[in-house]
């Protein structure tokens, strides 16, 4: 440091720099003062106004030019603009759109499990419809009734949630997230849900039971009684059994309180077998069984086959949902069918209405039909 100070070139450079700084300071201060005095000396308001305008233009132009470049050159509209052009080349401009709005173009589906192909068909209907509006759909398998799932969806800033999971039935959990995110709850139903009318299908099933003189009817479900008694399948079955003079006893309804696995709401094959075993031990005279879904019905059928009970000779059996697994059985099971793709499509339309602040147009209904495959 001392050697630098003693160097004559250092002091020469420092003095030159000081001269340049003073010169720049004088150039920056003196001309504006002189120009301002000249404007004041000219006693003309018009001249003074336009002079100020000309002085401000150079300061405004960079901001205006920057705005135009960003609005038209960077973002643009449609697939125009640098950013949209790049994103279009990478298959879609939805990211650029989300940058310009508060929406993230994301919808999440809550389901109980992936094993049931019933959900696969519905999810495909949701995804197919969502694509038309540049929405990305994420499927979330929920395993317990925790608020953490909901908080995670909020932190991810999803636009909407479609709930098909019985695991998330608690009103307080649903209401907590509904205040933050657009949401439709299909378990249980809300005003934005899609109704499924099982009346005609269930009447045909009960009519078959009556024709076969079945009198001990059992109803197998993987859920608790509070949700079952509100289910339209149970309501229709209970109504038509009474109409045909058949009693559906409450003790013949096996719910999740009686089997640990069923309480999880997964309703897989093993739960159907476990429920069927418990039901026959409780009442060996059961001669007809309706299962809440086909997965339960397949499990029940396999158990009946393992103990030598014949379907339909010894016992009538019917499922619901008409899933693809039924095609793999040697003995076909009767079931209930409805358009799951259309159900998913309508759910997507409803969640988009809710995201965009549109009111529900009344309950949309899909009509189910009975598929007689000879197991009743």
pLDDT, tens digit (0-9, with 9 covering 90-100), for 129-158: 999 999 999 998 876 655 566 666 666 778
What is the extent of the structural domain holding 327?
196-371
Checking if the pLDDT of 97 tops 50, the result is no
Rg (CA), the chain: 36
Out of 75, 104, 132, a domain closes at 75
Tell me: do 16 and 101 sit in the same domain. Answer: no
Tokens 């205040």 correspond to what residue? Answer: 179
Residues 7-26: what's their mean pLDDT? 78
How many domains is the chain built from?
Answer: 3
Residue 308 has a pLDDT of: 94
140 with 70, same domain? no
Alpha-carbon distance of 92 to 103, in angstroms, equals 16
Q: What digits encode the pLDDT tens for the residues 79-92?
A: 455 655 665 555 44
Phi, psi of 141 (to 5 degrees): -90, 115
- Claim to verify: residue 187 and residue 208 sit in the same structural domain: no
Q: In terms of domains, do 168 and 253 share one? A: no
- Does a structural domain hold residue 119? yes
Look at residues 164, 193, 222 and tell me which one is the last residue of a structural domain: 193
User: What pLDDT does 222 receive?
Assistant: 67
Residue 354's pLDDT is what? 87
The pLDDT-based confidence of 16 (bands split at 50, 70, 90) is confident
Domain of 101, CATH number, reads 3.40.50.2300
d(CA 271, CA 39): 93
Average pLDDT over residues 254-267: 50
Please provide the average confidence, as pLDDT, over all residues in the chain.
79
User: With 80 as the cut, is the pLDDT of residue 6 above it?
Assistant: no
Q: What is d(CA 259, CA 254) in angstroms, rounded to the nearest whole number? A: 8
- The answer to whether residues 273 and 205 belong to one domain is yes
Q: Per DSSP, which regions of 205-296 are E strands? A: 217-220, 253-254, 288-291
Cβ partners under 8 Å of residue 196, min gap 6: 232, 338, 343, 365, 366, 367, 368
- pLDDT digit string (tens) for 31-70? 766 766 676 666 667 777 777 777 667 767 777 777 766 6
Q: How far apart are CA 98 and CA 310, in angstroms?
A: 58
Q: Please report whether residue 213 resides in a domain.
A: yes
> What's the predicted TM-score (pTM) here?
0.67
Looking at the fold, whether 178 and 144 belong to one and the same domain comes out as: yes
């Amino acid at each position: 440091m001392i050697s630098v100070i003693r160097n004559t070139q250092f002091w020469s450079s420092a003095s030159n720099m000081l001269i340049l700084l003073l010169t720049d300071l004088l150039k920056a201060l003196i001309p504006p003062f002189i120009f301002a005095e000249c404007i004041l000396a000219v006693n003309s308001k018009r001249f003074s106004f336009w002079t100020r305008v000309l002085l401000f233009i150079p300061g405004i132009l960079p901001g205006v030019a920057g705005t135009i470049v960003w609005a038209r050159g960077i973002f643009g509209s449609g697939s125009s603009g640098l950013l949209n052009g790049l994103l279009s080349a990478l298959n879609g401009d939805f990211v650029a759109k989300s940058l310009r709005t508060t929406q993230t173009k994301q919808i999440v589906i809550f389901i109980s499990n992936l094993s049931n192909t019933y959900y696969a068909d519905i999810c495909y209907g949701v995804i197919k419809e969502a694509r038309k509006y540049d929405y990305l759909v994420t499927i979330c398998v929920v395993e317990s009734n925790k608020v953490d799932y909901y908080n995670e969806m909020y932190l991810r800033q999803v636009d909407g949630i479609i709930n098909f999971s019985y695991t998330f039935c608690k009103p307080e959990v649903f209401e907590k997230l509904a205040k933050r995110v657009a949401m439709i709850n299909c378990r249980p139903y809300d005003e934005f849900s899609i109704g499924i009318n099982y009346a005609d299908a269930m009447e045909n099933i009960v009519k078959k039971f009556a024709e076969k003189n079945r009198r001990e009817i059992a109803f197998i479900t993987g859920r608790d009684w509070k949700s079952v008694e509100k289910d339209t399948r149970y309501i229709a079955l209970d109504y038509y059994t009474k109409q045909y003079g058949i009693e559906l006893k409450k003790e013949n309804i096996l719910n999740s309180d009686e089997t640990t696995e069923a309480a999880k709401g997964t309703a897989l094959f093993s739960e159907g077998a476990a429920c069927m075993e418990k039901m026959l031990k409780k009442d060996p005279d059961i001669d007809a069984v309706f299962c809440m879904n086909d997965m339960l019905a397949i499990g029940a059928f396999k158990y009946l086959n393992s103990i030598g009970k014949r379907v339909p000779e010894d016992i009538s059996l019917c499922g619901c949902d008409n899933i693809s697994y039924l095609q793999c059985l040697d003995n076909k099971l009767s079931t209930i069918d409805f358009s799951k793709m259309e159900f998913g499509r309508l759910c997507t339309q409803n969640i988009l209405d809710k995201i965009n602040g549109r009111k529900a147009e009344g309950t949309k209904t899909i009509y189910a039909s009975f598929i007689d495959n000879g197991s009743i």
